[in-house]
Structure 1
């Protein structure tokens, strides 16, 4: 079906670096709006929108015609105790509910705008998260040696990104600012839509749509103004003309709108959902801003991975971790690492953090492909395994693996062009 790609775009987040708040706005809310748009459209085509009271001289075909005309043309509301105006009836026009499915689809598109901005912004700042996903693809299927090597690849990528985009001494970069701007767009969108909906659906004698719904739920009595006034008016008037030869007859009939109850329930649910989304979006935006501004969150995130590893010896001090998280990793690196951990594995993030720490705090020897590993090969490698071309410091002695693997058995070989050394199997320590 031709509409399936469009529906898939509306209901799925194209940017995997968005958080739970982003998915709540751009995936769940969009899916709900599309679902209700389809539901209201089905209701409209499967039932008559109005039933009109017609004079006794009307035949059955004339009654059917009256219902069709009043359903397609506009209707208006006039108080039962007031005279029907002659020239300014259009001022009393009620909402044309046949446009409701289209309005819901437009709302869904507005919820996708921040997601689109985030997707385009990635390319503008020089980062495509899909490339990172491709870099970490297949991590769970690799053996321990392959996972260790992939962790080093991710660490190199993150370090090169930080060195090329983040100014020294500044913990923020364009990626962080882009994500904060996206949060602001989510907030503006949900608050604007909620305010417009509340203003359009609230009766004149009510302060808000929520208070109005609560009064209707608590009260078991039929409220007259609920039937005869406001946006959910059930009883309306309709004008139409019939030409008989040279004579034009003008008729005014009283009609009831059949589907208003369903529309009201749909909009009530959407209003409540928007309230929840607005609260979550506001809290998420404030938390994200606090996380960016307060360095202790970066320090705590990096510290949790360093303390889980036995390769970092001796244990780093809090001052070293604070300096490392603030000036070396920065908020940009933490953001990328969090996205990688959510898309792949926390173990991969741990390997990348260890590589970044060692590449920053240890001195490399000539011809070495990476920083020396303190305490021998990583503990998560099987006994007898090591990384080709890597220097290890163990018991005060420096142990170097040969950079050439021509005569060695290769367990894992990366793709050409990745600039990653292959790994040897059964290399003695």
Structure 2
């Protein structure tokens, strides 16, 4: 059990561990990844199983020419010119209107899925640097809520025991100017990871929150680069289109009717052809990327609110005391004024930021009953360590003289 809960270092085995985050994080690295992979499979099926492009070839083209035209126009980028406009003579203008993304949509979606998973991978690889197997703690807490009373009590006692050892072994044992500077820096800057000051996990988790938020915002700009369109405003434009009551018959971002130029060499002559093509796959692409725009927008709002919430919990140190006090009152462990004073030391000096963070994480992945029992066990260990140990009674010199005189005047 000791090796399971203590002394762990970053390793790839932790990627398959239990939950060590909150539900908003899982919306990003679980739900969003699942959606993107499903969409990638749907688009891939349309490309490789169906017929992703149809081209209107000239009458003189035979079957082989027609097949060549379809294959060439699918591999080479087509370009979009509205039907109300004439096809420009300048080749450069045609190239500027090229659609460059439709062949790569499945790869784009898979790449996005990987980016949404990166913050979670970073968190699971690096949280072990705190010295505590956070995944194991959360897993035991999750199992404790479903076990028998004796089993739950045993698991919670084990968690409390190893948390106590972890908290005690990661305290400063030096007191020089460097240690004092590090301690002051950790108190001022909440993003500084300092294991000895009890801010490693909280600071690391805030950095991961920043990664989640940065990732979802960057998705809009990444799609701008891939699709060569103004994807940032796409959702607002779609809402405006729905409010106007008009249907998006031909989207300039996802056109169904495009043009394709290709050249055929016949002996020493090069003939240039322009054909009109239909991209049925863009019916799926349009709906998928409209849905993803709104999904990314909601995820970005949730990630922003979640980051502000955790920043508030970490920066305002009183939150740790109020959180611990709530559950100690539920457990009826704060009966006297002395207990109330000890509770502040319990939260600020014993648990510190990392200890309170672990308890919060246990609560997110279990129930209030488990938190109450865990804090009750930790409180008992804390009070036991604070109680003065009885010292051996040492008699005074006068008392020793009287004892010696009594022995001298004894029966012998």
Q: 1:138 to 1:231 in 2, by over 3 A?
A: closer
Residue 208 (1) aligns with residue 230 (2): no
Tell me, yes or no, if the aligned pair for 1:302 and 1:353 is still in contact at 8 Å.
Answer: yes
Which has the larger helix fraction?
2
| Structure 1 residue 24: Cα displacement | 0.9
Question: 1:87 offset after TM fit, Å?
Answer: 5.9
More off after superposition, 59-68 vs 270-279: 59-68
The Cα shift of 1:36 comes to 0.7
Shift of 1:185: 0.6
Q: TM-score, normalised by structure 1?
A: 0.72
Task: Evaluate the alpha carbon distance shift between residue 143 and residue 156 of structure 1 in structure 2; reply closer, same or farther with a 3 A threshold.
Answer: same
1:48 aligns to 2:74 (yes or no): no
Distance 1:52 1:316, change over 3 A: farther
Change (3 A) 1:59 1:243: same
Question: What's 2:406 paired with?
Answer: none
- With 60-69 and 188-197 compared, the bigger mean Cα shift is at 60-69
Shift of 1:30: 0.7
RMSD: 3.1
In 2: Cα distance, 1:257 partner to 1:334 partner: 56
Structure 2 Cα separation of the partners of residues 243 and 202 of structure 1: 31
1-structure distance, mates of 2:104, 2:157:
55
CA distance in 2, matches of 1:138, 1:160: 22
The Cα shift of 1:247 comes to 4.5
Q: Counterpart of 2:358?
A: 336
Count of aligned pairs: 352
Show the counterpart of 1:178.
Answer: 204
Unpaired stretches in structure 1, ≥5 consecutive residues: 1-8, 367-429
- List per-residue Cα deviations over 1:24-60 (Å, max 9, x = no partner): 1111111111111111111112332222222222234
Question: Equivalences for 1:7-406 in 2 at 5 Å?
Answer: 14=17, 16-78=19-81, 80-86=85-91, 89-133=94-138, 136=141, 138-140=143-145, 143-166=148-171, 172-197=198-223, 208-221=233-246, 226-227=250-251, 230-244=252-266, 247-310=269-332, 313-314=335-336, 318-362=340-384, 363=387
For 1:219 and 1:201, the matched residues in 2 are separated by: 26
User: Do the aligned partners of 2:138 and 2:361 also contact (CA within 8 Å) in 1?
Assistant: no
Contact 1:166–1:173 (CA<8 Å) still a contact in 2?
no
Q: Provide the rounded CA distance (Å) in 2 between the counterparts of 1:93 and 1:196.
A: 18
Q: Aligned-pair distance for 1:349?
A: 2.8
Between stretches 301-310 and 267-276, larger displacement belongs to 301-310
In structure 2, relative to structure 1, the CA distance for the partners of 1:272 and 1:266 (3 Å cut) is same
2:43 and 2:281 in contact (8 A); partners too: no
> CA–CA distance in 1 between the matches of 2:164 and 2:102?
56
RCO (CA 8 Å, sep 6+): is it higher in 1 or 2? 2
Change (3 A) 1:322 1:347: same
Deviation of 1:256 (Å): 2.4
SS at match of 2:342: helix
| Structure 2: gaps (5+ residues) | 1-11, 174-182, 188-196, 391-412
